Amino acid sequence: MKVTKAVIPAAGLGTRMLPATKTVPKEMLPLVDKPVIQYIIEEAVESGIEDILIVTNRAKSAMDDYFDYTPELEDRLSAAGKTEELEAVRRTADIANIFYVRQKETRGLGHAVWRAKRFVGDEPFAVLLGDDVMMAETPVTKQLIDAAERYGASAVGTQKVLPEAISKYSSLKVAPLDGRIFRVEDMNEKPTPEEKFSDYAILGRYVLTREIFDILENTPPGHGGEIQLTDGLKTLCKLVPMVAVDFEGRRYDTGNLKGFLEATIDFALRNDEVGAWLREFIEEKARG
């Protein structure tokens, strides 16, 4: 099983980050010196992905523009001898083969993934949520692909969350396989305390096989009236083998303010240009 395609659903409305996301897609908000979506694309590329489909909507064309050439700007940078800036601008346009499809109605994550059917064909593919940024030694998508290849299975990324937080996620019913890898037996989207299987939550990364498309086509709207990917995965895990990978690394939900700020601070502290300065600034603030 070789995984070379990835799908990035990025067609959500971003209502938790309003008014900032009224005209700027949340995936285009800058995390230190790059937009959120670039971190996600870089993770995919570092995981061996060659072709990437971004699921967008009519309010998100800034994303397509970002991964395109900018002749006027590039000419100006070149004439001014600003080679570093020129390279940075060029790199974003040549980073991978990027394709786009629109989700014409915001009908949920499951519906957004279903829009990738023609792009994916028969191959297994990775899914990276457009607002979940990971900081990890080994890219999280690579950790999932390795497990999926080893077990000939679909894979979902997971970590334990606090018991009081699981109702915001999908809860997994798992059985141990090997170390950080579990067999997935069942799952529930946004469970009540009585419904939850465990505190292992699905967090933003998947490797799926083509069976998911027929399943999603027949999945009725679930929680919030939207077609939920988890409802489709619940059926998939009973049809084909599925593993959960308790991945090494930290996940940031940049689609809400606290997650966005955590990511901004953590990535800035690791940045060569501003990291040392920011640490001093924070220490100074903490002293009051």
x/- track of binding to ligand UTP for residues 225-264 (CB under 6 A): ------------------------------x---------
Q: What are phi and psi of 214, to 5 degrees?
A: -65, -35
As a whole number of angstroms, the distance between CA 91 and CA 85 comes to: 10
x/- track of binding to ligand UTP for residues 148-167 (CB under 6 A): --------------------
**Separation in Å, CA 275 to CA 65, 249, 264, 267:** 29, 20, 11, 8
111: tokens are: 């519906």
240: tokens are: 């084909």
CB of 92 or CB of 228, closer to ligand UTP:
228
- H or E element that contains 237: helix 229-239
Among 78, 83, 97, 106, binds ligand UTP (CB under 6 A): 106
- Residues numbered 11 to 40 that lie near ligand UTP (CB under 6 A) are 11-16
As a whole number of angstroms, the distance between CA 63 and CA 56 comes to: 8
Q: Which stretch binds ligand UTP (CB under 6 A): 102-110, 138-146, 182-190, 194-202?
A: 102-110
**190 forms part of the interface with ligand UTP (CB under 6 A):** no
Helix axes 140-151, 36-46, angle to 10 degrees: 40
Residues 6+ apart with CB under 8 A from 55: 7, 8, 9, 10, 11, 100, 101, 102, 103, 112, 113, 115, 116
Among 35, 124, 130, 139, binds ligand UTP (CB under 6 A): 130
Q: Which stretch binds ligand UTP (CB under 6 A): 68-76, 99-107, 160-168, 171-179?
A: 99-107
Q: Are 266 and 274 in contact (CB under 8 A)?
A: no
Among 129, 140, 145, 215, binds ligand UTP (CB under 6 A): 129
Among 5, 38, 98, 108, binds ligand UTP (CB under 6 A): 108
Among 103, 141, 143, 158, binds ligand UTP (CB under 6 A): 103
Binding residues for ligand UTP, per CB under 6 A?
9-16, 55, 103, 106-109, 111-112, 129-131, 255
